[in-house]
Amino acid sequence: MYKQNIGGYATCICQLWQNNWDQLLLTAEFAYKNSQQSSTGFTPFQLDYNKYTITPSTIAVKVLNRTKVKVAHDLYEHWTVTINIAKDTLVVAQERQAKYYNKGRKDIELQEGEQVMLSI
């Protein structure tokens, strides 16, 4: 599933930003690993390490309150914009994946007592 999601994100990134998609790919991967999954209720990072991630933006908020260095503020703004782009791209990719997945699905209503064949 991970390869499919990253592949979907890469496709969206390539379609939206033709010049620097390779620079955004790691951000998309980080956003995926730090996004709560509806199937588990956890982020992949939480499941792997049993911890919440501390992101540069989390640290930057504390530092920015104490510094007047313009570069620090610019870096934080750039990071925030990039993370938001990655999150938006993830949503687009997930919607597209859901559309293709649901295209071949049929709702089947079963009655109590009907036999079904399960594939394991």
Q: Which two tokens stand for residue 111?
A: 């009655």
User: What pLDDT, on the 0 to 100 scale, is given for residue 72?
Assistant: 76
User: What pLDDT, on the 0 to 100 scale, is given for residue 3?
Assistant: 52
User: What pLDDT, on the 0 to 100 scale, is given for residue 12?
Assistant: 66
Task: Tell me the mean pLDDT per 10 residues along the chain, length 120.
Answer: 60 64 73 78 85 72 74 81 84 86 83 84
d(CA 49, CA 40): 15
User: What pLDDT, on the 0 to 100 scale, is given for residue 25?
Assistant: 72
User: What pLDDT, on the 0 to 100 scale, is given for residue 16?
Assistant: 59
Measured between alpha carbons, how far is residue 74 from residues 20, 33, 54, 64, 65 in Å? Answer: 19, 25, 20, 10, 14
User: What pLDDT, on the 0 to 100 scale, is given for residue 109?
Assistant: 86
Query: How big is the CA angle at 81 (ends 88 and 3), to the nearest 5 degrees?
Result: 45
